[in-house]
Amino acid sequence: MKVLQPRWRLLFVFLLIFVALLWPFHSLVQGYYLAELKRKNNQTLDLISANLVSTLQRYEVLPQVLGRLPDVQQALLNPEPEQLHTANELLSTIRDQTGADVIYLLNTEGMTLAASNWLGPRSFIGNNFAFRPYFYDALARGTGEFFGLGNISIKRGYYYGSAVYHDNRAIGVIVVKVDLDFTETLWGEVPERLLVTDQNGVVILTSEPQWRFKASRELSASEQQSIANHKPYTTIEPEPLNLKSEQWVALHNDLPAIDWRVSIFAPRMLINEPVSTAMAVFAVTVLAVLLIFGLLLQRRHYYLERIAMDAQAKQELEESVRNRTQDLQTLNSRLKEEVLEREATEQELVRTQDELVQAGKLSALGVMSASISHELNQPLAAIRSYTDNSKILLTKERYAEVASNLDLVAVLTERMASIIEHLRAFARRNPQASEHVALQPALEDALALVASRRNALQVEIFRDVPEATLWVEAGETRLRQVLSNLLANALDALAEKRSQRCIWLQTSLSQEWLCLTIKDSGTGFTDEALAQAREPFFTTKTSARGLGLGLAICDAIVKALGGRLEFANNLEGGACVRLYLKQIPSAMNLDAQEDRFA
């Protein structure tokens, strides 16, 4: 079973208390209203009893007084028509004055001689009432009383009989009948039932017509006999009243003088309604209180929950701050470690940089020496070939040619000095002012430099260069250096081929540029060479023949001259190198000086 939450449990307990309180409260309320009802009914009862008693007492002594009147006595002593008439008149008058129902005079036989209703259709005169107790009791004891239903008038009445004496002898009985039907009508319509029971316990007067002449208790045999004899009711066997005590609130008032009992029966329903209302008010009030209490409990629970949630949130926040602080501390210490590592790396880097600078210096030294030897090898080879040639010419005494050769050697040595100067300048990266240089003579010089090798390889040269001098922005020596390098590379590539060794030289002009294309039918650039040919020390050649500096130097020189070098392969095979230099319109070069070696 699900255990109830404490607040619901509390409410449940309150509900139980409420239910438990209902019963005593109900009794309390019922007691109160019952007491109220009884108080009120007691007043009614007293009033009715007093009224009834006073009504009867008013007539109690009347027959005794009337019995002493001479006209009454004369009517009994001398019952002549005249005397009787006088008596009738008298009784009728007295009846009108006293409000009695009927007053009548009986002789000792019980025969009615005179009556107040002597003129009415139901005149008692001539009727014998000897069987009535009020008659024979009055004769026997002086007075007699009787309740009963008039057998002529069929009206309930109380009869007071009194003996009429003459000379201490009873000569008759005078009777006064009090009308009780009228008394009953005075009670009116009230929710309470009023009733009067006689000495037999039979209801003789009541505000509830159905209860009339019913026995409120069991009748004894003598009582039944008496009823049969005197016929006071419409029946000689009264039915039981059978009132259920739980349905009624009964109050009684005994009238000992006449042995009657006056009762008032109030239906319990009368108090049920106010009791129910009071209970409803009580229930609603208690439920409202419970509801308010429940709401307060709920509100308190809600606030407690909120406080708990706030506390939990605060705890979680503190926890997360703690965690975050922990993380930050971890991060901080890691950063510190990283900073230390970085510092160590930086120190390492500085050290490595120092080492690299040192290595770079060494490398630059190597590059320089390699470049020098590379650039000088070709003129040296040319000088050797001129000197060898001159020796042969001397033996043949061809002195003019020897002199020409020596001139060429001189030019070459000058050029070597210039190359060394340029290499130094290159190494220092000293920019040199460009000048207007004629392309064709520089090209011729470069071809002359590689002529012996070209001849040895039987390389055919095709030129598509205009006769008119083409001027470019360059340096005389630097241009020749570039061209001879490019041609030397072409010859190296052609040396790999067994036949069809050709070099095509072609110029083209655009607005700004002069483009010299040097194509060969050699092996062509490898993919690697196309990508890296400009890098220093890149070479595909054996270490004996290639240093990988030629194109690096050419590229640097051409860039310094404001031009560019492009490397590609021909579709039909072989390399294609394009040298772009800024062209100078020929008109600007009329007084240009040629710095040619020849």
Burial 496-516 (b: 16+ CB within 10 A, else e): ebeeebbbbbebeeeeebbbb
Contacting range for ligand ADP; rule: CB under 6 A; set: 46-54, 134-142, 401-409, 545-553: 545-553
Q: What SS3 string covers 300-326? A: HHHHHHHHHHHHHHHHHHHHHHHHHHH
Contact 524, 573 (CB under 8 A): yes
When asked if residue 533 is in the footprint of ligand ADP (CB under 6 A), the reply is: yes
When asked if residue 522 is in the footprint of ligand ADP (CB under 6 A), the reply is: yes
Contacting range for ligand ADP; rule: CB under 6 A; set: 17-25, 111-119, 320-328, 532-540: 532-540
Min dist CB 434 to ligand ADP, Å, is 23
Q: What angle do CA 377, 382, 383 make, to 5 degrees?
A: 95
Min dist CB 505 to ligand ADP, Å, is 13
Closer Cβ to ligand ADP, 452 or 540, answer by number: 540
Min dist CB 458 to ligand ADP, Å, is 17
DSSP 32-74: HHHHHHHHHHHHHHHHHHHHHHHHHHHHHSHHHHHTT-HHHHH
The maximal CA–CA distance of the chain, rounded, in angstroms, is 236
Please enumerate in sequence order all residues whose Cβ is within 8 A of that of 519, keeping only pairs 6 or more positions apart, or say none.
503, 504, 506, 570, 574, 575, 576, 577
The mark string for 460-499 relative to ligand ADP (x by CB under 6 A, - otherwise) is -----------------------------xx-xx------
Please enumerate in sequence order all residues whose Cβ is within 8 A of that of 230, keeping only pairs 6 or more positions apart, or say none.
131, 132, 133, 146, 148
Bridge-based pairing of strands 575-584 and 471-474 is antiparallel
Residue 239 DSSP SS3: coil
When asked if residue 546 is in the footprint of ligand ADP (CB under 6 A), the reply is: yes
In 128-194, alpha helices (H): 133-141, 180-186
When asked if residue 423 is in the footprint of ligand ADP (CB under 6 A), the reply is: no
Contacting range for ligand ADP; rule: CB under 6 A; set: 172-180, 201-209, 290-298, 540-548: 540-548
- Residue selected from 64, 390, 523, 583 as contacting ligand ADP according to rule CB under 6 A: 523
Residue nearest to ligand ADP (CB): 550
Min dist CB 596 to ligand ADP, Å, is 25
CA distance 545 to 539: 9
Closer Cβ to ligand ADP, 352 or 500, answer by number: 500
- Residue selected from 160, 482, 520, 561 as contacting ligand ADP according to rule CB under 6 A: 520
Closer Cβ to ligand ADP, 56 or 575, answer by number: 575
Min dist CB 569 to ligand ADP, Å, is 8
Site for ligand ADP in 549-578 (CB under 6 A): 549-552, 575
Contact 233, 245 (CB under 8 A): no
Q: What SS3 string covers 80-111? A: CHHHHHHHHHHHHHHHHHHCCCEEEEEECCCE
The values of phi and psi at residue 564, to 5°, are -155, 160
Residue 539 DSSP SS3: coil
When asked if residue 548 is in the footprint of ligand ADP (CB under 6 A), the reply is: yes
When asked if residue 162 is in the footprint of ligand ADP (CB under 6 A), the reply is: no
Contact 446, 484 (CB under 8 A): yes
Closer Cβ to ligand ADP, 395 or 542, answer by number: 542
When asked if residue 110 is in the footprint of ligand ADP (CB under 6 A), the reply is: no
Closer Cβ to ligand ADP, 187 or 567, answer by number: 567
Contacting range for ligand ADP; rule: CB under 6 A; set: 333-341, 389-397, 456-464, 531-539: 531-539
When asked if residue 441 is in the footprint of ligand ADP (CB under 6 A), the reply is: no
Closer Cβ to ligand ADP, 161 or 548, answer by number: 548
Closer Cβ to ligand ADP, 271 or 491, answer by number: 491
- Residue selected from 74, 540, 570, 589 as contacting ligand ADP according to rule CB under 6 A: 540
Closer Cβ to ligand ADP, 5 or 377, answer by number: 377
**Helix, strand, coil percent values for the chain (each to nearest 5):** 55, 20, 25
When asked if residue 521 is in the footprint of ligand ADP (CB under 6 A), the reply is: no
Q: Specify burial of residue 133 (Cβ count, 10 A radius: 0-12, 13-18, 19+).
A: buried
Min dist CB 480 to ligand ADP, Å, is 16
When asked if residue 547 is in the footprint of ligand ADP (CB under 6 A), the reply is: yes
Token code pair at residue 458? 């039987």
CA distance 584 to 472: 5
Task: Tell me the C-alpha to C-alpha distance, in Å, between residue 530 and each of 112, 133, 535, 546.
Answer: 174, 166, 11, 16
CA distance 186 to 207: 9
Min dist CB 415 to ligand ADP, Å, is 19
Q: How many residues bind ligand ADP (CB under 6 A)?
A: 23
When asked if residue 529 is in the footprint of ligand ADP (CB under 6 A), the reply is: yes
Contact 534, 553 (CB under 8 A): no
- Residue selected from 143, 162, 539, 583 as contacting ligand ADP according to rule CB under 6 A: 539
Where do contacts with ligand ADP occur on this chain (CB under 6 A)?
Answer: 489-490, 492-493, 520, 522-525, 529, 533, 538-541, 546-552, 575
